[in-house]
């Protein structure tokens, strides 16, 4: 269990190190990974201020996203294991970050998650995703999630591009500023 996280106050730094360490294994010479910012401070997936969120650290290249999060006791379903819904949320979050790379806002319309192995509390789940194809407004993506180098989850999704105005009323209701998509 080399990547099993210890309970420390510095878990965010640990996640950053794990994510950065995972990238060279899968990177090519053409890849240049950059950190992707959280789109909303209270987002369950990537928000740095969500009290029980995933606090996912995410990096993107020209066509891929890698990210990781520490499965904590707040994320369990059965004792000692991550809740399947939390895993699905993490998958959706990582795949959603692909939209930053496309510089086009989009929403999830289909998400299929195949749970290969349970993910224990204390594990760092590393997620890698890329766009499979784009067909008009539809964006098709696939993902593999590993803990300790073993595949625990695989997924596919379809996103539909929308205008940024789709989100405005929701941001304004929360008193937040609407940000534009990020494109490295």
Listed by start position, the domains of the chain span 11-173
pTM of the model: 0.76
Per-residue confidence in pLDDT tens, the chain, 184 aa: 334 444 433 444 445 444 444 444 444 445 688 888 887 788 877 878 888 888 888 999 888 999 999 999 999 999 999 999 999 999 999 998 887 777 778 899 999 999 999 999 999 999 999 999 999 999 999 999 999 999 999 999 999 998 877 766 666 666 665 555 544 4
- What CATH code would you report for 11-173? 3.10.129.10
Q: Of the listed 10, 92, 114, 135, which one is catalytic?
A: 92
What is the pLDDT, as a whole number, of residue 9? 39
Based on the residue annotation, tell me whether 31 is a catalytic residue of this protein. no
What sign has the CA pseudo-torsion 139, 97, 15, 74?
A: negative
- Euclidean distance between CA atoms 162 and 17, whole angstroms: 34
Based on DSSP, count helices (H) and strands (E) in the chain, helices before strands: 4, 7
d(CA 91, CA 83): 13
CA distance 53 to 71: 10
């Amino acid at each position: 269990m080399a990547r099993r996280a210890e309970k420390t106050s510095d878990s965010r730094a640990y996640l950053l190190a794990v994510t950065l360490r995972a990238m060279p294994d899968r990177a090519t010479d053409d890849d240049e990974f950059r950190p992707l910012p959280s789109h909303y401070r209270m987002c369950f997936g990537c928000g740095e201020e969500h009290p029980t969120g995933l606090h996912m650290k995410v990096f993107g290249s020209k066509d891929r996203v890698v990210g990781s999060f520490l499965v904590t006791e707040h994320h369990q379903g059965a004792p000692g294991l991550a809740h399947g819904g939390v895993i699905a949320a993490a998958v959706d979050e990582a795949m959603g970050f692909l939209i930053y790379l496309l510089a086009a806002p989009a929403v999830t319309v289909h998400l299929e998650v195949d749970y290969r192995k349970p993910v224990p509390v204390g594990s760092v789940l590393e997620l890698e995703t890329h766009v499979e194809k784009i067909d008009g407004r539809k964006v098709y993506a696939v993902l593999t999630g590993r803990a300790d180098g073993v595949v625990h989850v695989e997924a596919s999704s379809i996103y539909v591009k929308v205008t940024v105005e789709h989100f405005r009323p929701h941001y304004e209701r929360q008193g937040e500023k609407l940000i534009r998509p990020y494109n490295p």
